[in-house]
């Protein structure tokens, strides 16, 4: 039994599932529609500070192996997950298995006593957004090449990516982009989109989502409600379209992903004036609460893009934007600067204590995070024997995947 040495983790994940049932009682599916509800605490054993940490998805330091500062932080701060970038990864892809194991082991040793498995996330769109540099892993082609080849090919790539990531200890892929390519966003998205035709994009994105998730890796549809041409790493983009264009070209893409039971949706930092001219989408109750939660009835995880991007940080501190994003309806807050994590956690705690952020909203976010961890069996990442078995099978998985690619007939 995976929980033999950690029964408390089982209780926390079980409690998260029980309380998530309040959110999905009408749909029976954490990734699709259902009546809204006001859930109680998703993990009664967690205190306020631990809940405030659980909603953070942080970047970490360390190339090839986690730094000592990273492991110390994770032992003190029970964050919900980590996001890995190219500079983190060992030269050989298989080396990521040890990196992910070190991260999960730090949770087991945590001095907070939370002991909840980490989400270990990585961008895995293919093409230009592919973090692995060395040989020994299947390179996913850019979505712009996948879309024209059809849903069967996208599904194959999803299964391949999911099986390989899972063997390496990664349990969430920050992919796919589900947006249509158009003249407004091509400067930013480029080859990251499956194309300009709605039916083709929906079919390919849905197939990739289903393939990833069938292999035990959570998929993330991005970026809601859409992107403009400017890079949010550098500026605050503005999406200059009317509601009619939004309802025709943008909203249906995410409806399709939700229908495919995607675990999570990533929120963009774009200002969409037709819905909310005053706030970026990731901080907007009208867009997150009104559109994603209300109109699309999405009950899975809403994840922000990095709070440290210039789109937000030029005006909003991470502490302020974190509280605003939670209040708007986001659940998991990406913060690539791990040294700001404790400050952001403290700001969330202070907001709840002051009444600026309802405790029920934080509880709802934690419930959704725990449900995704349960749904994708992330507790297995805490078990050394399971990790070792999966990693030992990684070379054979890659070899078999190479054969499947060569044998595929378009």
pTM of the shown model = 0.90
What are 38's two structure tokens? 């006001």
Quick one: how far is CA 8 from the chain centroid?
25
Find all residues with CB under 8 Å of 11, minimum gap 6, and list them: 45
Distance (Å, rounded) from C-alpha 243 to C-alpha 6?
50
- Could you tell me where the DSSP H helices lie in 43-148? 48-54, 68-76, 96-108, 143-146
Measured on CA atoms in the order 111, 117, 123, 124, is the torsion positive or negative? positive
- Residues 293-323: b if buried by 16+ CB within 10 A, e if exposed: beebbbbbbbbbbbbbbebbbeebebbbbbb
3-state secondary structure of 409: coil
Average pLDDT, the chain: 90
The domain limits of the chain are 7-407
Q: What is the pLDDT of residues 141-150, one digit of tens each?
A: 999 999 999 9
pLDDT of residue 113: 55
Asked whether 239 and 270 are in contact (CB, 8 A), the reply is yes
Residue ranges of E strands in 155-282: 172-173, 218-224, 264-267
Q: pLDDT tens for residues 294-347?
A: 999 999 999 999 999 999 999 999 999 999 999 999 999 999 999 999 999 999
Phi, psi of 110 (to 5 degrees): -55, 135
Output 360 or 35, whichever has higher pLDDT: 360
Beta strands 124-126; 172-173: pairing state: unpaired
How many other CB atoms are found less than 10 A from the CB of residue 105? 18
Q: pLDDT tens for residues 210-249?
A: 999 999 999 999 999 999 988 899 999 999 999 999 999 9
Q: Which two tokens stand for residue 34?
A: 């259902």
pLDDT tens digits along 252-283: 999 999 999 999 999 999 999 999 999 999 99
Supply the pLDDT for residue 58: 98
Output the pLDDT for position 111.
Answer: 61
What DSSP line would sit under 187-220, residue for residue?
Answer: TTSGGGS--S-HHHHHHHHHHHHHHHHHTT-EEE
Active-site option among 276, 305, 331, 363: 305
The two structure tokens encoding residue 215 = 């292999």
Contacts 24+ apart (CB under 8 A), 133-140: 133/86, 133/89, 133/91, 134/90, 134/91, 134/92, 134/93, 135/92, 135/93, 136/92, 136/93, 136/94, 136/395, 136/398, 137/93, 137/164, 137/398, 138/164, 138/398, 138/401, 138/402, 138/405
pLDDT at 406: 94
User: 116: which DSSP letter?
Assistant: P
Pick 63 or 39 by higher pLDDT: 63
Return d(Cα 312, Cα 335) in angstroms, integer: 12
Domain 7-407: CATH superfamily, name plus number: Glycoside hydrolase, family 3, N-terminal domain (3.20.20.300)
For the question of residue 305 being annotated catalytic, the response is yes
Between CA 158 and CA 166, with CA 163 as vertex, the angle to 5 degrees is 115
From 29, 233, 240, 242, the catalytic residue: 233
Whether 269 sits among the annotated catalytic residues: the reply is no
Whether residue 1 has pLDDT greater than 80? no
Question: Does the pLDDT value for residue 27 go beyond 80?
Answer: no
């Amino acid at each position: 039994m995976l929980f033999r040495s950690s029964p408390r983790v089982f209780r926390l994940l079980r409690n998260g599932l029980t309380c998530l049932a309040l959110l999905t009682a009408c749909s029976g599916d954490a990734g699709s529609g259902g009546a809204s509800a006001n859930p109680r605490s998703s993990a009664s054993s967690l205190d306020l500070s631990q809940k405030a940490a659980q909603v953070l998805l942080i970047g970490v330091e360390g190339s090839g192996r986690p730094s000592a500062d990273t492991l110390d932080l994770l032992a003190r701060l029970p964050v919900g997950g980590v996001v890995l970038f190219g500079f983190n990864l060992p030269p050989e892809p298989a080396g990521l298995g040890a990196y992910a194991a070190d991260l999960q082991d730090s949770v087991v040793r945590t001095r907070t006593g939370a002991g909840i498995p980490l989400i270990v996330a990585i961008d895995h769109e293919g093409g230009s957004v592919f973090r692995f540099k060395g040989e020994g892993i299947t390179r996913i082609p850019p979505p712009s090449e996948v879309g024209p080849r059809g849903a069967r090919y996208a599904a194959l790539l999803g299964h391949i990516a999911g099986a390989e990531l899972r063997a390496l200890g990664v349990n969430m892929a920050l992919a796919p982009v589900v947006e249509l390519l158009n003249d407004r966003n091509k400067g930013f998205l480029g080859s990251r989109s499956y194309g300009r035709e709605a039916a083709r994009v929906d079919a390919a994105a849905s197939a990739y989502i289903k393939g990833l998730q069938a292999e035990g890796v959570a998929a993330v549809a991005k970026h809601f409600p859409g992107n403009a041409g400017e890079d949010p790493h550098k500026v605050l983009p503005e999406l200059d379209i009317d509601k009619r264009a939004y309802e025709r070209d943008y909203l249906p893409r995410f409806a399709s992903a939700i229908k495919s039971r995607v675990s999570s949706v990533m929120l963009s930092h774009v200002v969409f004036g037709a819905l909310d001219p005053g706030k970026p989408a990731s901080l907007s109750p009208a867009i997150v609460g009104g559109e994603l939660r209300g109109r699309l009835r999405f009950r899975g995880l809403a994840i922000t893009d990095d709070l440290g991007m210039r789109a937000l940080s030029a005006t909003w501190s991470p502490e302020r934007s974190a509280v605003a994003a939670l209040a708007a309806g986001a659940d998991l807050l990406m913060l690539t600067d791990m040294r700001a994590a404790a400050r952001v956690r403290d700001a969330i705690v202070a907001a709840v204590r002051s009444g600026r952020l309802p405790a029920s909203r934080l509880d709802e976010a934690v419930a959704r995070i725990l449900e995704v961890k349960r749904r994708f069996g992330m507790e297995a990442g805490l078990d050394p024997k399971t990790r070792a078995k999966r990693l030992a099978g990684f070379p054979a998985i890659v070899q078999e995947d190479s054969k499947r690619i060569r044998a595929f007939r378009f």
